[in-house]
Chains A and B, each alone.
Chain A
Amino acid sequence: MSWLDAFVQWTGWLGLDYRFLLDAYERGSFVAGAWVTLQLCLCTMAGSLAVGVALAAALVSGRPWLAGPTRLFVEVTRNTPTLVQLYCAFLVLNMLISEVIGGANPFTPFAWVVIVISLHKGVFHAEALRAGIEAVPQVTLEAATSLGFSRRQRLWRVELPLAVRFALPSLVNNLIELVKMTALASAIAVGDITYASILIWTQRDNVLELMILILLFFGLLSFVVNCLGRGLEARLRMPGYGH
């Protein structure tokens, strides 16, 4: 742990107080918080993409009884603050569920964060995917049909591959926003990196130092998502489209 000592000493000279890193308990809770944030990111990414595909499918289904309510859900969800949605879900829904099924409520605060953010970001994914689907030229689909493709083949071999390519920049954008949105978890005391930091700085009064760490951590996560997105875009690039 000598490099940690060196780090604390070195930052000390700069006037920054990172001594909590030398305390095994506080260091542990900070690392655990980072790990929780990472888990939140992975779960909400998967969840939001699944929600996005399902909602987009409903939006373009052409069935009014399905597309209508979905459109309403999309508008309500994207026009209300995520924090308020989270409070509603955790404080109201969760309590109702607890009252009905008693103490064995399976929904942890972690689960509520995943659900709420997945739904919220899923709405944005759905709109991006819808834009992608609608950008596929009608004639290209007709060409597939006229070659004898079944509906399924047309969807999986032509429509979706093209729609995902068109939607990919927006999807990556949404995912980067999603990474940062997971900090909301601290609002209902899920032990993510932000919450862990709050607990530490209320003891030590080293807000600036922890803020720097949080910023770096989220910056790094977003950067990784960004790179993965760029990589995927490059892999799926269609020559003659874009540049």
Chain B
Amino acid sequence: MGGFIDLYTEADTFLHRMDPRVKIVAVLLLSLLAFILSHLYLLLALLTFIFLLLFLARATISRTAFALKFVLRFMVLIIILWPIFDPTGTPVLASLGPIKITEPAVWRGVTSAARVGCLATVWYILMFTTSQRDLVRALVKMGVRFDFGLTLAISLRFLPTFGALIDSIKDAQRARGLELSKGGLLKRSKNYVAVLVPTIVSALRTADTLSLALQSRAYGARADRTYLRDLNMRPSDYVALAVLAAILVLPAFAKFVMQVDI
């Protein structure tokens, strides 16, 4: 169940081999770019570029389907909801009572969805190509305290597990005849107690075991802990950094120095 518990998937691509620090910087830069760009076509170009990276990371459909589906659903939600809550601009395409759907709002919705798509996918690529050990290693090397790095790693590690846990608990209660979506609001929220309590209890039991496991492996015994693997930048990493800088510098220069609307 590797792909389910941990987004990381082992492979030997240039993205997997890249120094994790470079990848983190890259993801930050590309995220920044997604915020700078405001033209739909440029964002779509960026999205295409990011998907190309995903393809180069050997992400097959079967391995990424569940993550991409999630991103896609979120994007569709934005496209639907944006025009409903943003009545500004003309022409008005349709109106229903107080709700006004305008053409610019529709475009703004699509643009935001593309931006969210860029952000989600680029972070997904980072998780997909970087083992959590390397991720924490990189953060610590970049000056983050080890405790924070470890906390982050543990949360990342347990987020999908938590999802699987909730699914399993829902199943367990459905097997006892619980119908989660049946009844009025009050009945439904009561139904969720049957899912919530076992979830919290199981999560706490896991946390308890985990902290014991950490302590029994002498976590916190020395502040200056050593590491098994050290990170080393290779020439290809510098090249990657340079390429990324170039990709970002141009639009940043255009937008902030030349005041071009992009």
> Do they bind each other?
no
Interface, chain B (partner A; CB < 8 A): none
Interface, chain A (partner B; CB < 8 A): none
